[in-house]
């Protein structure tokens, strides 16, 4: 048994400047890679032992990919880096006065600290929604969603109660951003190509998929053209799109919208908002709208050697008054750029401000149905955008093995319309669902 008083971060002392990075996502990973073998010690803390490729998380949730296809372990990723140290631990607090970070198993002094903790689901203070809905930000959450979907079909195929069956076959996705749209499209394709074969006893005309959005368009971060096209693609696939609709409550059985309309469902997927994954110790005046205010070199306002990059960073510029979009590219580019600036700071050279190069955005609804906004006000849809989406996602996946798995998986699906991962590895049962717990226990008894 591990004993706390016997644990230590075990990072070697060094005469080199020590850069501590909290979070090895798109931002932190690119920063650490860009500091490779420079004259610095790099310490990476992340509460999970892998870098996740979140744009494909919905495919794990909809039985399209296994989790290991979209995740690369840090220990493998940084194999061969000298004076690089990774520890799987959550950072709880920072103390800029003593230049230390505090974790469950000890403190560590830093010379330069970079916060790259990304964002987390935002339930806007609604504890009931937080308790009963299914967020989609991490691999365990995606596996919960996958289990829930598959369990709903299994249960629907054995219930004799038609109201219960209808509720099991109804799926509501809150938030019509890229993740919500991709989830809804993917589920609709499963309904068309996969589920009728798996469950010949079920009538899939009973299966309903809703996507609800508080704003007036689908894909709010993208152009109107992209939003309209994506909405048309979703509707063609039989998804019910509800705009200007806010979820007010959800008790695990009924979603109630502002205005009173209700839908009975066992599954509400929550993709309706994110907020920064903040850490204790950052002054309140450096935080705005859940993100950390930074200057043009990503230095946290009011601090000297502490920086923030990626989703958590709020760099207010004339061109980006609301900060950079919360997507992978700003995080990647800030990570690479900050590495150069840290080198300059260490050599007392002048730093250079960060400039975001917008490569455009993409979202997929289904086979041959995708949308793309490209620089120069170019909007693409259909097959070309779909091909672009496939290419970009393979290109940016970390690690040759993941690229190969995802590519071969997609080729397989292209010809067979199948999804190979419809397996309930870890059944999902809510902690307060006594009947569900009992059934699971009895099923597991040998």
Ligand X SMILES: Cc1cc2nc3c(=O)[nH]c(=O)nc-3n(C[C@H](O)[C@H](O)[C@H](O)COP(=O)(O)OP(=O)(O)OC[C@H]3O[C@@H](n4cnc5c(N)ncnc54)[C@H](O)[C@@H]3O)c2cc1C
Per-residue x/- mask for ligand X, residues 152 to 191, rule CB under 6 A? Answer: --------------------------xx------------
Among 17, 18, 21, 54, binds ligand X (CB under 6 A): 54
By CB under 6 A, which span of 44-52, 186-194, 225-233, 340-348 interacts with ligand X?
44-52
Nearer to ligand X, 114 or 345 (CB): 114
**Site for ligand X contains 27 (CB under 6 A):** yes
For residue 173, give Cα distances in angstroms to 161, 262, 275. Answer: 24, 14, 19
Nearer to ligand X, 167 or 334 (CB): 334
Active site includes 182? Answer: yes
**Site for ligand X contains 279 (CB under 6 A):** yes
**Site for ligand X contains 388 (CB under 6 A):** no
By CB under 6 A, which span of 49-57, 64-72, 365-373, 400-408 interacts with ligand X?
49-57
**Site for ligand X contains 64 (CB under 6 A):** no
Per-residue x/- mask for ligand X, residues 110 to 149, rule CB under 6 A? Answer: ------xxx-----------------xx------------
To the nearest whole angstrom, how small is the minimum distance from the Cβ of residue 439 to ligand X? Answer: 30
To the nearest whole angstrom, how small is the minimum distance from the Cβ of residue 54 to ligand X? Answer: 4
To the nearest whole angstrom, how small is the minimum distance from the Cβ of residue 23 to ligand X? Answer: 3
Among 19, 20, 21, 22, binds ligand X (CB under 6 A): 22
- Contacts to ligand X from residues 80-109, by CB under 6 A: 90-91
**Site for ligand X contains 365 (CB under 6 A):** no
**Site for ligand X contains 366 (CB under 6 A):** no
**Site for ligand X contains 57 (CB under 6 A):** yes
Residues 6 or more apart whose Cβ sits within 8 Å of residue 417: 193, 194
Which residue of the chain is nearest ligand X when measured via CB?
Answer: 25
Angle at the Cα of 98 (from 25 to 118), degrees rounded to 5? 15
Q: Which parts of this chain interact with ligand X (CB under 6 A)?
A: 22-28, 45-48, 54-55, 57, 90-91, 116-118, 136-137, 178-179, 277, 279, 310-312, 326-329, 331
Which residues are designated catalytic? 182
């Amino acid at each position: 048994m591990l004993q706390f008083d016997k644990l230590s971060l075990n990072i070697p002392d060094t005469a080199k400047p020590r850069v501590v990075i909290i979070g090895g996502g798109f931002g932190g990973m690119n920063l650490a890679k860009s500091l490779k073998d420079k004259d610095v010690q790099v310490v990476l803390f992340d509460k999970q032992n892998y870098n996740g490729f979140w744009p494909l998380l919905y495919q794990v949730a909809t039985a399209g990919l296994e989790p290991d296809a979209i995740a690369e372990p840090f220990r493998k990723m940084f194999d061969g880096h000298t004076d690089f140290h990774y520890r799987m631990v959550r950072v709880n607090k920072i103390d800029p006065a003593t230049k230390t970070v505090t974790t469950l198993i000890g403190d560590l002094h830093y010379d330069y600290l970079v916060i790259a903790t990304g964002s987390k689901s935002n339930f806007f203070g609604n504890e009931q929604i937080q308790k009963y809905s299914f967020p989609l930000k991490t691999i365990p959450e995606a596996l919960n969603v996958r289990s829930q979907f598959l369990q709903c079909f299994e249960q629907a195929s054995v219930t004799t109660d038609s109201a219960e069956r209808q509720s099991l076959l109804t799926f509501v996705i809150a938030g019509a951003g890229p993740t919500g749209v991709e989830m809804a499209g993917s589920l609709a394709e499963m309904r068309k190509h996969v589920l009728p074969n798996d469950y010949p006893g079920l009538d899939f005309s009973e299966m309903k998929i809703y996507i609800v959005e508080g704003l007036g368009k689908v894909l709010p971060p993208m152009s109107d053209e992209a939003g309209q096209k994506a909405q048309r693609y979703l509707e063609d696939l039989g998804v019910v799109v509800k705009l200007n609709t806010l979820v007010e409550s959800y008790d695990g059985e009924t979603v109630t919208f502002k205005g009173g309309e209700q839908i009975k469902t066992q599954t509400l997927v929550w993709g309706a908002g994110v907020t920064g994954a903040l850490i204790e110790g950052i002054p309140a005046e450096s935080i705005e709208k859940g993100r950390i205010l930074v200057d043009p070199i990503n230095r946290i306002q009011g601090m000297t050697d502490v920086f923030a990059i990626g989703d958590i960073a709020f760099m207010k510029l004339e061109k980006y008054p609301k900060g950079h979009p919360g997507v992978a590219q700003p995080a990647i580019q800030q990570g690479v750029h900050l590495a150069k600036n840290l080198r300059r700071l260490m050599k007392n050279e002048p730093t250079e401000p960060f400039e975001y190069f917008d490569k455009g955005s993409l979202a997929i609804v289904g086979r041959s149905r995708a949308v793309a906004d490209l620089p120069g006000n170019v909007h693409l849809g259909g097959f070309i955008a779909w091909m672009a989406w496939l290419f970009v996602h393979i290109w940016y996946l970390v690690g040759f093995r993941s690229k190969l798995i995802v590519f071969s998986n997609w080729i397989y699906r292209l010809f067979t319309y199948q999804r190979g991962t419809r397996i309930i590895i870890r059944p999902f049962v809510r902690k307060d669902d006594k009947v569900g717990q009992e059934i699971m226990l009895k099923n597991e008894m040998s």
